[in-house]
Amino acid sequence: MEYRKMGRTGLRVSALCMGTMQFGWTADEESSYKVLQSSYEAGINFYDTANIYSRWVDGNPGGVAESIIGKWVRNYNIPRDQLVIATKARGRMGEGPNDEGLSRQHILKAVEDSLQRLQTDYIDLYQTHWYDADTPIDETLRALDDLVHQGKVRYLGCSNYPAWRLMEALWVSDRYHLSRYDCLQPHYNLIERQEFEQELAEVCEAYGIGIIPYSPLAGGFLTGKYRRDQTDGDSPRAGGKSRYFSDQNWALLDAIAEIGQEAGGYSVSAVALAWMLYQPGITSPIIGPRNLAQLEENLQAVDFRLTDADFQRLSQMTEWRKSEED
Ligand SMILES: NC(=O)c1ccc[n+]([C@@H]2O[C@H](COP(=O)([O-])OP(=O)(O)OC[C@H]3O[C@@H](n4cnc5c(N)ncnc54)[C@H](OP(=O)(O)O)[C@@H]3O)[C@@H](O)[C@H]2O)c1
């Protein structure tokens, strides 16, 4: 396994981060333990979760993925100091007026609940899941900074922030000498590039912010299991994939498969992840396999390097910037 520095920090994390949104949703508890254990044995040390996973499932109160991680670490005797555990707060966790958001009130409650479910006394990377337009950023950052000083949280990150909000947060941290966001978790993959590449990529590069893209396989589309003549899939997540069904994306999948075959039989998911790992600013794409077969295919990305020509070929096929001749 390759380990990379998380932005300008001294923290080293595996080149793939193991996501856990599928736990308690498309992966039951037993499958979740198997995936966690195999990923750890493969050298992954970086685990991403969120307090709300997976509250959208009927009968699921949220916190299920955090609880599964906590039980895995305890029951499998995993050395806590070898793991980098990332979780998030922001989403609604109860019916009360303060049971969501990024107020001091909610953050201080949310972190205690996450610590309890994770069965740990610190969180390595605490992330704001998406911005809260109703709370001043200095209130959020002061509450997070307090958690860093209390030792409950070690690094701060944010997810789903547009560039101006990330810049504002960096300025406010600088102005008030508060801990700053050292990691961004954006939505980013070969098909959905503009949201991250348009402005956020430059902010992260200029300020040394780690980048851990989520949905690097477009939620399963970039795995080769969807085809022109086989578009239904067997996944509960398949329904949302039809938005990707286009001639351009089928041609992209053909090219990815061809590159993988020519390189010696690498999976479609490995090539799609390798396109991301090729980019020097990217720290760790967050994968979300729900079983061991998917994990194996995703892990192939770690041993696979795209050639410059193949990187350019895939990038040109999904380019969103208009060329000057257009
Ligand atoms: N910050 C945020 O707002 C946010 C949002 C989303 C996710 N995340 C994080 O990012 C992580 C990854 O997100 P994601 O699950 O969308 O990532 P993804 O890698 O784009 O999609 C993962 C899904 O693709 C399918 N898949 C993966 N490998 C496969 C293979 N080899 N063959 C066939 N199918 C395969 C599986 O779904 P099926 O088998 O069900 O098709 C799997 O659950 C999450 O767990 C979470 O930690 C964060």
* Residue 179, token pair as written in the block: 């801990």
Contact 128, 88 (CB under 8 A): yes
Q: Ligand 1 centre and the CA of 166: distance in Å?
A: 25
Alpha-carbon distance of 46 to 194, in angstroms, equals 26
- Helix then strand count (H, E) for the chain reads 11, 10
Supply angle C-alpha 191, 267, 36, rounded to 5.
Answer: 90
Residues 6+ apart with CB under 8 A from 171: none
Spans of the chain below 50 pLDDT:
none
pLDDT digits (tens, 9 = 90+) for 252-310: 999 999 999 999 999 999 999 999 999 999 999 999 999 999 999 999 999 999 999 99
Q: Ligand 1 centre and the CA of 289: distance in Å?
A: 6
Q: Ligand 1 centre and the CA of 287: distance in Å?
A: 6
Phi, psi at residue 116, to the nearest 5°? -65, -45
Alpha-carbon distance of 301 to 276, in angstroms, equals 10
- Give me the pLDDT at residue 249, please: 94
Pocket of ligand 1 contains residue 63 by CB under 6 Å: no
Query: What Å distances lie between residue 282 and 65, 82, 242, 277, CA to CA?
Result: 25, 22, 28, 6
Query: Which residues are identified as catalytic?
Result: 53
In a domain, 117, yes or no: yes
- Give me the pLDDT at residue 181, please: 98
In a domain, 322, yes or no: no
* Residue 274, token pair as written in the block: 């390798």
- Which CATH number covers residue 131? 3.20.20.100
Length of the chain: 326
- Give me the pLDDT at residue 324, please: 66
Segments forming the whole domain that contains residue 307: 3-317
CA of 216, closest atom in ligand 1: 20
Where are the extended beta strands (E) located within 144-233?
Answer: 153-159, 181-185, 210-211
In a domain, 146, yes or no: yes
Pocket of ligand 1 contains residue 287 by CB under 6 Å: yes
Residues 6+ apart with CB under 8 A from 139: 102, 103, 104
In a domain, 324, yes or no: no
Residues 6+ apart with CB under 8 A from 86: 17, 46, 47, 48, 49, 123, 124, 125, 126, 127, 157, 183, 212
Domain count, the chain: 1
Largest CA distance in the chain: 60
In a domain, 218, yes or no: yes
In a domain, 325, yes or no: no
Alpha-carbon distance of 288 to 53, in angstroms, equals 13
Name the closest-CA residue to atom 48, ligand 1.
214
Q: Which helix (H) or strand (E) holds 89?
A: strand 84-89
Pocket of ligand 1 contains residue 214 by CB under 6 Å: yes
- Give me the pLDDT at residue 233, please: 64
In a domain, 259, yes or no: yes
**Paired residues of 85 in beta bridges:** 47
Pocket of ligand 1 contains residue 192 by CB under 6 Å: no
In a domain, 285, yes or no: yes
Closest CA to 118 of 155, 156, 83: 83
Query: What Å distances lie between residue 168 and 6, 110, 171, CA to CA?
Result: 21, 24, 5
Alpha-carbon distance of 240 to 263, in angstroms, equals 31
Pocket of ligand 1 contains residue 73 by CB under 6 Å: no
